[in-house]
Amino acid sequence: MDKQEVFLGELLDINPNIDIGLIEKAYKTAEEMHEGQLRKSGEAYLIHPVEVAKILADLGMDERTIVAGLLHDAVEDTPYSLKDVEKDFGAEVALLVGGVTKLGSLVFESREERQAENLRKMFLAMSKDIRVLIIKLADRLHNLRTINYMNEDQIVYKCRETLEIYAPLAGRLGIYAIKFELEDIALKYLDPTSYYELVDAVKIKRDERRTSIEKVIDEIKEALDEISVRYDITGRSKHFYSIYNKMKYQHKQLDEIFDLTAVRILVDTVKDCYTVLGMVHTMWKPIPGRFKDYIAMPKSNRYQSIHTTVIGDSGRPFEIQIRTRAMHRVAEYGIAAHWKYKEGATGDQEEVKLAWLRQTLEWNRDMNDPREFMETLKMDLFSNQVFVFTPKGDVMELPAGSTPLDFAFKIHTDIGAKCVGAKVNGKMVPIDYVLENGEIVDILTSNNAKGPSIDWLQIAKSSNARSKIRQWLKRQDKSQNIDKGKEMLEKAVKRKGYDTHDFIRNAWMGKIAKAMNFASVDDMYTSISYGGVLLSKVVGRLLDLYETETEKDAKRDDAALIDRTNKRNATVRKTPPGDVRVAGVDNLLIRLAKCCSPVPGDEIIGFITKGRGLTVHRKDCSNIAGLPEAERGRLMEVEWNAGDREGSYDAEIYIRSDDRKGLFSDISRRCVDMDVNISGVNLRTNSDSTVTILMTLSIANTNQMEKVLRMLRQIESVTEVYRARAL
């Protein structure tokens, strides 16, 4: 049996009443057109359209959709044209193929522009027939299943596009079987480390969860048998991308995800759903806040189910989902499940033969012909919304009938308020223009715009835009008073001789407003404008705050300078203590004590440490003076080697001064004048308005040290300067 016979046989197994002749004709056409073409994997290209057609068949799509799936790449990649499609298979199939075909003949400036135009084209086709998107989702699913043959850049781009556009669209249509697989594959390639770590973590706990869930299922079965409800019950595992999102964005651990595994109960009627729910809640205690009734309040994609999380006998929570079989078909395949074949099938026989269809809610039970049903379904899903694009290619969803004003306010409130016009598809339009699917909208703004008027409430259709317009109109009168009050304050400050740019700061005005019991700065300005508060009173408080903050600024400036100095000199090279000589001893590890920081010219002495060689101290070091008698036997005479030295040594300087602005700037400048590096600073403000500074300087010898001390004592407000004996 050849590949064509196998393929057609699989379709007949799915639906014996399908027009197999039409599909066989499409198969032969695709085979002929793609002859000699290979995929990146090296396989015959025909494999791709055939696999897309199989996915569509599994979704329960009609034969014309399957035909379009077989031909969806022929127009793009072969000489076969849309006119040929229409001639051979009719206008309906040509519309579907044309909607999926990319814009291959046009030249674009960027990949983003091409993506935007391709999506726009697809959305326009979707507005006429939603099957265009279903074919595109099947195409994307098979491409992702074989994406490992692409290069890394293509893989990342396609996977990101999938997560941002196609998986959400699959969710919008309620086709969760495709949505979940798209997300899991994309995650595997975009973040393989997290994906495989998650797979391993889930696998480790799988047996434990399986045992627990099987026990729960047995208990539910026993209870359901007693109330004579026809049911199917299974365990359901959460897909990896959903777990990944909860762990990443909700900062949850794997054990904290209650619905990692759930029990799903399928029944015949809505009444049975609530009967089973009551039974479950008598068996286990429900967790407050974890009950969702999507039957009474369906999701926008028509998903219906009851979700409840209960505490099991082991003390661990688990989720139970309850829905009818029809609701389950919606949950699995959403809009795709509407293509149903009922010819000659009734009752239980029909349910067995048509289990693969995963039908959604039967909006019209009298419609047996899939194509007749399609006519009523076209645009129904999107009848209450419109999809348009920003100039950068971002998709924006708005209510049907929306105008450029709705679009502008959805981008940002300021864009809406400054809107003076719009371009749609490059042409100027009025702000009351009604947007249509697939259009590219560019908002024109002006800083001189007057802003929203009362008429805008009649033009805007979205609740978001109308709410923001009303808020702006309420603030309009208040805004004028705010501007007036601020202007009055600025003039008063200028009369005092201050520059308002540096003087009136938002942080300062906030402090004053709070001190004067205003809810906000704007409220204070408004009060100034109509005389509710004396302007002179606000100016007086502002002047007092200015003096206080100026003094703080001066201290902050000194502190910042100290910090920069410490950072700048943190890597200053320290000269090793090779200039110290120990009589009669060679190859001895020698280091200079940090407590007293000896420099050449100081009288020094060595102390033999345990395991760290010899430490050299100044003889007047307080640590040496305080040595116990028992330790003094470890002291050793040392001396500086004679000769010129090019290195420098750290020395600690103690400075006490009256606190004033610019003190440390003066100290730093004097050190620079004497070619002395500051390698560390520690400053403390005292309660008597003085400051104490402990400063580490890089000193060549004691002669330079004395010059530095004399220089520092000459600085204004400095009262004490001396060399520290020890830390």
Q: Which residues are catalytic?
A: 76-77
Report how far Cα 162 is from the mean position of its chain's Cα atoms.
16
**Residue 236 in contact with residue 261, Cβ under 8 Å?**
yes
- The residue type of 254 is L
CA gap 380, 300 in Å, rounded: 12
> What is the residue type of 493?
V
Closest CA to 4 of 70, 73, 91: 70
Q: How many residues does the chain have?
A: 727
- On the 0-12 / 13-18 / 19+ scale of CB atoms within 10 A, 166 is buried
| Other beta carbons within 10 Å of 107 | 7
Q: Which of 483, 209, 175 lies closest to 337 in space, CA to CA?
A: 175
- What is the distance between the alpha carbons of residues 611 and 432, in angstroms, rounded to a whole number? 86
Distance of alpha carbon 153 from alpha carbon 705, whole angstroms: 63
Render the burial of 131-157: b for 16+ CB within 10 Å, e for the rest: bbbbbbbbbbbbbbeebeebeeeebee
* 229 vs 268: CA distance, rounded Å: 8
Counting Cα atoms < 13 Å in the Cβ hemisphere of 400 gives 8
φ, ψ dihedrals at 495, nearest 5°: -65, -25
CA distance linking residue 66 with residue 333, whole number of Å: 16
288 within 8 A of 317, measured Cβ to Cβ: no
392, β-bridge pairs? none
From residue 687, alpha-carbon distances to 225, 657, 659, 684, 720 in Å are: 83, 13, 10, 10, 17
Residues 718 and 657: beta-carbon distance below 8 Å? yes
Beta strands in 432-474 (DSSP E): 441-445
For 590-615, b/e burial (b = at least 16 CB within 10 A) is bebbebbbbbbbbebbbbeeeeeebb
Residue 277 has which token pair? 């729910």
Q: Phi/psi at 221 (nearest 5 deg)?
A: -60, -45
* Closest-CA residue to 23 (of 49, 2, 41): 49
Sort strands 317-324 and 385-389 into parallel, antiparallel or unpaired: unpaired
Question: Which runs of E-coded beta strand occur in 414-540?
Answer: 419-424, 427-429, 441-445
Give me the DSSP letters along 619-676.
TT-HHHHT--GGGGGGEE--EEPPS-----EEEEEEEEEE--TTHHHHHHHHHHHTT-
Q: Which residue has the tokens 């199917």?
A: 232
The two three-digit tokens of residue 619, written as one number: 């003889």
Task: Take residue 50 and report the two structure tokens written for it.
Answer: 């055939």
User: Which residue is listed with tokens 């004996």?
Assistant: 725
Q: What is the rounded CA–CA span in Å between residue 67 and residue 59?
A: 14
Hunting for tokens 């729960």 — which residue is that?
A: 216
Instruction: Report DSSP state, residue 44.
Output: B
Is 462:406 a contact under the CB 8 Å cutoff? yes
| DSSP class of 42 | S
